[in-house]
Every structure is written in structure tokens, then in C-alpha cells.
Structure 1
Amino acid sequence: MGYLILKHLHIGCVVLSGTGFLLRGLWMLADSPWLQRRSVRVLPHLVDTILLGSAIAMTVISHQYPFVADWLTAKLAGLLLYIGCGTMALKRARSKPQRAAFLLAAVLSFAWIVSVALTRNPLGFFATLA
């Protein structure tokens, strides 16, 4: 599979993953029964698996690796923050206000990851402040 196809697949999965996460977060805050649907529980895992697989494939093809390319290291660190905040937002935080705060933190970290990818700068949207 060519790099350009992988990149488009990756970007598509980024959009699906981010939109799906935000939707699930809003449903969680609204106590929506949609969260209990099988497709809502399974689809994010499928999308995120394809997202990760395409990221790894692009890394190998381009020979740009985290801990070598600063911007990829920043994306990886942001991903870990996003996963941690997302887990707290959707499952682990005890109260709705805590979940809402973690949801906001996860969405902001997601936006920062995207800005790092677009600018290929480890500071992402913070680069304009420097």
C-alpha cells in the first residue's frame, strides 16, 4: 500500500476517531442510551486499530520514528495524554464535573496532536506563541 493511500486512510480515521470520541463524551454527559449500543462500543476499537496500524506503516515507510523525529515524539506523548484523559472522561472519573473536565482536556490534547501533525512542529499550535 502506498504512502499517500496510508496517509489518507490515517487522516480519515483521525476524523472518525475524534468525532466518535466527542460524540461518546457528549452522550456520556447526557446519560444517553446510545452508549449501550454494541456498535458504539465496538466501532471505536476498529477505527483506532486502523489508525494505529496506518501510523506505524507510515512511520516505517518514511523512516521517521518517535524519539528521532521530535514532532513524532510530541505526537506520541500527546496520544498518551489523550488516552489517559479519554479513559478518565468516559469511564474512570467519579463525577460528571470531573468527566466533563477530562473530556475537555482530551479534546484539547487531540487538537494539539492534530496541530503537531499539520505543522510538523513539536509545539503544534503553541509554536505561534514562541
Structure 2
Amino acid sequence: MDYYYLIKHLHVTAVGLSITLFLIRAYWSIVESSLLQARLVRILPHIVDTVLLVCGVILAAMIGPNQPWILTKIVLLLVYIGVGTIAIKRGKTRRTRAIAALISVAVFVYIVGVAIHHDSASWFA
């Protein structure tokens, strides 16, 4: 049985869930909704992102070490996480959180382009 496609499908599903949960949480942060404090809202994204990361590491190991685009994805993931925390938690004003959310989504879209094209130039390849 080829586990690559099973893990890739799980990874892509987690990607979709992760960005959906991010968008919801970022919106709630911008409008200062109390829903952001719900227990499920605080826990579920971490579970989904853990699945996403574990699958990504397994896929990277299966693909092999000589893939510069994977390093690009890792660096951009760190940027996405950092800016995402500003969008959801650390931004002091609504405007700051909104701008950080837009930057996070742009970085996310770039990461998807890197993954699809297997090229660090992403959509510009």
C-alpha cells in the first residue's frame, strides 16, 4: 500500500481546516468576539495544526532532503505563525490584527503555491 497519498491527503485536509479555523479566529479577534475564548476554539486549531505538521514532516522525509522548496515552506510557515499570533492574540488594536490577518493569508497563499509548484518562486514560477 502506498502511504504517501494517504498522508498527503490528510496533510491537504489539515491545511484546509487550518486556514478555515485561522480565518474564523482572526475575524473573531478583529471584532473582539467572546467566541474566541471558547474551549473548543482554543484547542481544536492546535490539534489540526499538529496533524498538519506531523504529516508535513513525514512527507518531507519521504520526498528526500534535496528539495529547496521544502525549506522555503518551513521558513514561510514560521513567518505565518509569527504574524498569525499578532492577528489573533498579540495585536493591540483591531487595525493591527486586521493587517496581520491579511499578511498571514498572503503568506499562506504563497506557501500553497510553493507546495503546488514545488518551487520557491511559488505562483511566480
Normalising to structure 1: TM-score of the pair? 0.91
Structure 2 match to 1:31: 32
Mapped to 2, the partners of 1:94 and 1:39 lie a distance apart of 24
Structure 1 match to 2:45: 44
Mapped to 2, the partners of 1:84 and 1:109 lie a distance apart of 11
SS in 2 for 1:94: coil
What fraction of aligned residue pairs are identical, expressed as a percent? 40
Question: Shift of residue 24 of structure 1?
Answer: 0.5
Q: Unaligned 5+ residue runs, structure 2?
A: none
Query: Would the aligned equivalents of 2:31 and 2:94 in 1 still touch at CA under 8 Å?
Result: no
Aligned residues, how many? 124
Partner residue of 1:106 out of 98, 104, 107: 104
One-letter code of the match for 2:81?
A: I
Mapped to 2, the partners of 1:123 and 1:108 lie a distance apart of 14
Q: Which aligned runs of 4 or more in structure 1 are off by greater than 6 angstroms? A: none
Question: Shift of residue 49 of structure 1?
Answer: 0.4
Question: Shift of residue 39 of structure 1?
Answer: 0.4
Structure 2 match to 1:82: 80
One-letter code of the match for 2:111?
A: I
Mapped to 2, the partners of 1:60 and 1:124 lie a distance apart of 21
Question: Shift of residue 74 of structure 1?
Answer: 1.1
Q: Deviations over 1:44-94 (max 9, x none)?
A: 00000000100111112222x3xx311111111110110110011111121
One-letter code of the match for 2:91?
A: A
Structure 2 match to 1:59: 60
Question: Shift of residue 6 of structure 1?
Answer: 0.1
Structure 2 match to 1:10: 11
